[in-house]
Amino acid sequence: MDWEWISSNTGEIGGLLGDHIYLAIVPIVAGLVVALVVGALGVRFPRLYPPIVALSSTFYTIPSLALFVIMPGLISTQILDPINVIIALTIYSASLLVRNVMDGLRATSPEVRQSALSMGYTPIRQLWEIDLPIAMPLVFAGLRVATVANISMVSVGALIGVGGLGELFTQGFQRRFYTPLLVGLVLSVLLALLADALLVLLQRWLTPWARLVR
Amino acid sequence: MIEFESVTKRYDDGTVAVDGLSLVAANGEITVLVGPSGCGKTTSLRMINRTIDVTSGTISVDGQDIASTDAVTLRRNIGYVIQHAGLFPHRTIVDNIATVPHLLGWDKKRSKGVALELMERVGLSTALATRYPAQLSGGQQQRVGVARALAADPPMLLMDEPFSAVDPVVRESLQDEFLRLQQELGKTIVFVTHDIDEAIKLGDQVAVMQVGGTLAQFAPPAELLSKPANDFVAGFIGRDRGYRGLSFVGAEGLPVHERSTVAVGASEDDVRQATGDDDHVLVLDTERHPVGWLPVNGQADISPERLLALGTTFTPAQTLRAALDGALASPTGEAVCVDGDGRFVGVVSHGEIAEHLQTAGRQAG
Ligand SMILES: Nc1ncnc2c1ncn2[C@@H]1O[C@H](COP(=O)(O)OP(=O)(O)OP(=O)(O)O)[C@@H](O)[C@H]1O
Ligand SMILES: [Mg+2]
């Protein structure tokens, strides 16, 4: 372990860490928005449910590197453009989250549905004020998986040269100098743990009732 | 007033759940729909707030056909309580209760004030206000359900087996409090149950429905018990309807008579003299309020610890059932009758009550 290398490269390491966070977070947020919209449609119109499930499973089986590489061909961007990684990961995140969103939105019990309807909830308002909050525990479960998965998949993005902590891996391998590799590894693990812990805290704050149910 | 006029409901699969139902739920009264499982009670109830559409016939609320009203507005004006309460798990108790005010856009402070007031009204400590439904017992959740239905002070309430998911003891107290609350509020209530005892206890009018969704009889509870319209109703009411019927016959006709009494503090001689051949004597205080039974058998010691409990007393204004309960609980088999101020009037034995019932029954035909 070469501490000197680390201290003389903190700027660069910090920059890569920032890139990594950016590349992982943006697709999570975008994927969540897509999943909420598609999931709500899938629950509202049951006919859409099977194709949504089929499509999301299909997306999920494409290897990430393949998706990174074919993305420029599909959306005619430069191969090194980080937007490729962002879009690819958004698709992954949305595919993973849409199942949780749909299961979550359907978790509202028949009694709760019936009383909401009978008290004069309109469908949209019920979705927003009843079904969505009740779906939150499942959505958060999905978010935790997707976030950790994204943080590790961003590292793969380094193979097509888009930045992030993965660059430290490639550097380390190319120069047979393992300090950057180790730094990259430690930082990405810490980042995953920290993101997961933050999500747990956020969930406790947003759904204090969820620990009481079941 | 809620009026059904030849209402029929046929579901898409062809099931006829309600068939030609006509009845009127009068203002300020509890109208109970009772009948076996699948006879269309829930369907009938839910057609009132248009969460189920009628196939034919009309339902009107205060003279207006509900088909011509806005369904959402209609629902916000009719309180609704269901079996498992159906509380929103993600909202606190106070927010659950304030649901309809929230939908109506009342300001938060007012909604909260109303919700807290209602908690007390239905017998819930306001300390529970910030809890979540999962932290409450079934009985407490049911009370929250009732409070929630009342929050915007709707003139009408629909209740679908609200008390059937709790144990019998809790159910009984929920029923009693419900009746007390209704006495204060005077809402127009349609109440669904499959329990004939509950129907008789709570209903001003009872509609007995039978499978196929037809109305077998619509009458006040006493009439249902004394004159069941057909074999179905008689069978549904059950074999012990005689005892249930006692609740509807006044005690005023009973042959209440004198019996030996002594005053508190009487001497042994007084006791011997008053008792004669009886083996118990009734002890009265200076105001002639009955205090208890004194077993005599040879001794005439009147010390308070030898007194036997009085059991329950009854007044002529009460029912035969109260008199019979008093007789069964008494050590001598005699029920003690008192006047409105609790002063001793006389006694009647359970044999005499039974005799009275038989003659009364013969007269009634
Ligand atoms: N959505 C539906 N589609 C088809 N049939 C239905 C539907 N809902 C109810 N039914 C049928 O209509 C009939 C009446 O049902 P309903 O729920 O009104 O009965 P109920 O008297 O409330 O019974 P319970 O005491 O079991 O609650 C039953 O035969 C039931 O199977
Ligand atoms: Mg029912």
pLDDT of B237: 84
In the reported structure, the alpha carbon of residue B40 is separated from the centroid of ligand 1 by a whole-number distance in angstroms of 6
The pTM (predicted TM-score) of the whole model is 0.78
| Angstrom distances, CA of residue B364 to CA of B218, B226, B249, B331, B360 | 21, 9, 11, 32, 6
How do the pLDDT tens digits run along chain B, 365 residues long?
999 999 999 999 999 999 999 999 999 999 999 999 999 999 999 999 999 999 999 999 999 999 999 999 999 999 999 988 899 999 999 999 999 999 999 999 999 999 999 999 999 999 999 999 999 999 999 999 999 999 999 999 999 999 988 888 888 889 999 999 999 999 999 999 999 989 999 999 999 999 999 999 999 998 888 888 998 998 888 766 666 667 777 788 888 988 888 888 777 778 877 777 778 888 888 889 998 888 876 666 667 777 888 878 898 888 888 888 888 888 888 999 999 888 999 999 888 887 887 776 555 43
Average pLDDT over all residues of chain A: 88
> Is the CB of B90 less than 8 angstroms away from the CB of A116?
no
Whether A135 contacts A105, CB under 8 Å:
yes
DSSP H or E stretch at residue B158: strand B156-160
**Cβ contacts (< 8 Å) between A117 and chain B: which residues?**
51, 75
A179-213 pLDDT, tens digit each: 888 888 889 899 999 999 999 999 999 999 998 76
pLDDT of A43: 92
Token pair listed for B62: 């205060």
CA distance A151 to A166: 10
**Which atom from ligand 1 is nearest to the alpha carbon of B45?**
18
* B83 Cα–ligand 2 center, Å: 9
In the prediction, which pLDDT does A74 show?
76
- Residue B41 CA to ligand 1 center (angstroms) comes to 8
Instruction: Let me know: does B207 contact B4? Beta carbons within 8 Å.
Output: no
| Distance between Cα B41 and ligand 2 center (Å) | 6
Q: Encoding tokens for residue B238?
A: 């059950």
pLDDT band at A133 (very low <50, low <70, confident <90, very high): very high
Which chain B residues are closer than 8 Å to A130 by Cβ? 88, 90
**What atom of ligand 1 comes closest to residue B35's alpha carbon?**
21
Query: pLDDT (tens digit, 9 = 90+) per residue, A118-129?
Result: 999 999 999 999
Of B136, B131, B94, B132, the closest CA to residue B115 belongs to B94
Chain A contact for B350, CB < 8 A?
A: no
**Is residue A59 scored above 60 in pLDDT?**
yes
Which residues are CB-neighbours of B44 under 8 A, at least 6 positions away? B4, B7, B9, B18, B21, B33, B192, B209, B213
| Ligand 1 binding residues, C-beta < 6 A | B 11, 13, 15, 17, 37-43, 194
**Cβ contacts of A119 on chain B, cutoff 8 Å:** 75-76, 80, 99-100, 103, 148
A111 neighbourhood in chain B, CB within 8 Å: 82-86
CA nearest neighbour of B41 among B210, B157, B192, B201: B192
Please tell me the distance from the alpha carbon of residue A138 to that of residue B11, in angstroms, as a whole number.
34
CA separation, residue B324 to residues B156, B315, B337, B351 (Å): 37, 12, 11, 10
Residue B20 CB-density burial (10 A; 0-12 exposed, 13-18 middle, 19+ buried): middle
Interchain CB contact of A205 with B (< 8 Å) = no
**A209·B132 Cβ contact <8 A:** yes
Please, which residues bridge with residue B157 across strands? Answer: B79, B189
CA-based nearest distance B134→chain A, Å: 6
CB-based contacts of B321, cutoff 8 Å, min separation 6: B243, B246, B247
Counting ligands in written order, the one closest to the CA of B194 is 1
Under an 8 A CB cutoff, do B51 and A213 touch? Answer: no
Cα separations in angstroms, B1 against B60, B62, B190:
8, 5, 10
Report residue B280: phi and psi, to 5°.
-135, 150
Residue type, B325: D
Ligand 1 atom at minimal distance to the Cα of residue B16: 12
Question: Could you tell me the domains of chain A?
Answer: 3-213 (1.10.3720.10)
- Two structure tokens written together for B233: 């109703």
Q: How many CB atoms lie within 10 A of CB A78?
A: 9
> What order of strands is seen across the sheet that includes strand B56-61?
B16-25, B2-10, B56-61, B64-65
Q: DSSP 3-state assignment of B226?
A: helix
Report the SS3 class of residue B122. coil
Cβ pair B57, B5 in contact under 8 A:
yes
C-alpha separations of B202 from A165, A205, B24, B162 in Å: 72, 44, 17, 12
Would an 8 Å CB–CB cutoff place A213 in contact with chain B? yes
Strand partners, B250: B319
Whose structure tokens read 């929103």? Answer: B88
Contact across the interface for B76 and A208, Cβ inside 8 Å: no
Instruction: Look up residue A7 and give its two tokens.
Output: 């201290």
Contacts of A32 (CB under 8 A, 6+ apart): A93, A94, A97, A139, A143
CA of A117 to the centre of ligand 1 (A): 18
Q: What is the pLDDT of residue A140?
A: 96
* Distance from residue B278's CA to the centre of ligand 2 (Å): 57
Tell me, what's the pLDDT at B239?
Answer: 60
Say how far apart CA B106 and CA A99 lie, in whole Å.
37
Q: Report the residue of chain A nearest B136, measured CA to CA.
A: A212
Instruction: Please indicate if any CB of chain A lies within 8 Å of the CB of B243.
Output: no
Q: Assess A114–B contact: CB distance below 8 Å, yes or no.
A: yes
Position in ligand 1 atom list of the atom nearest CA B36:
25
Which tokens hold the place of B127? Answer: 């300390």
DSSP of B167-188, one letter per residue?
-HHHHHHHHHHHHHHHHHH--E
From the CB of residue A36, how many other CB atoms can be counted at a distance below 10 Å? 19
Q: B174 C-alpha to center of ligand 1: Å?
A: 26
Q: Which DSSP letter does residue B69 get?
A: S
Q: Which two tokens stand for residue A27?
A: 């697709």
Tell the residue number behind the tokens 């074919």, with chain if given. A70
Question: What is the nearest CA distance from A115 to chain B, expressed in angstroms?
Answer: 6
Pick the residue from chain B with its C-alpha nearest to A123: B72
Beta bridge partners of B59: B4
Report the C-alpha gap between B101 and B292 in whole angstroms.
54
Q: Which residue in A has a C-alpha nearest to residue B85's C-alpha?
A: A111
CB contact under 8 A, A117 and B72: no
Which tokens hold the place of A147?
A: 């976030």
**Which residues, in sequence order, are CB contacts of A193 under 8 Å at separation 6+?**
none
Q: Which letter, b or e, does each residue of A45-70 get, where b requires 16 or more Cβ atoms within 10 Å of its Cβ?
A: eeeebeebeeebeebeeeebeebbee
**Residue B262 to residues B278, B285, B302, B339: CA-CA distances in angstroms?**
13, 9, 10, 18
Instruction: Answer whether A84's CB lies under 8 Å from A77's CB.
Output: yes
**Is the Cβ–Cβ distance between B143 and B81 less than 8 Å?**
no
Q: Are B314 and B254 in contact (CB under 8 A)?
A: no
Contact B75 A120 (CB under 8 A): yes
From the list B310, B328, B315, B332, the residue with the least C-alpha distance to B256 is B315
Give the nearest partner residue to A122 out of B72, B99, B132, using CB atoms: B72
**Contact yes or no for B80 and A209 at CB 8 A:** no
Chains A, B: CB contacts within 8 A come to 67
pLDDT at A72: 75
Residues 57-86 of B with CB under 8 A from A: 72-76, 80, 82-86
Per the CB < 8 A criterion, the answer to whether B121 and B180 are in contact is no
- CB proximity list for B158: less than 8 A, separation 6 or greater: A118, B45, B46, B48, B49, B78, B79, B80, B81, B189, B190
pLDDT, residue B111, reads 96
CA distance B143 to chain A (A): 15
Mutation target to probe the A interface, by most A beta carbons within 10 A, among B84, B88, B93 is B88
Interchain CB contact of A128 with B (< 8 Å): no
Q: Which of B16, B42, B53, B158 to mutate to test the pocket of ligand 1 (most atoms within 8 A of CB)?
A: B42
> What local confidence, expressed as pLDDT, does residue B361 receive?
57
Neighbours of B122 (CB within 10 A): 20
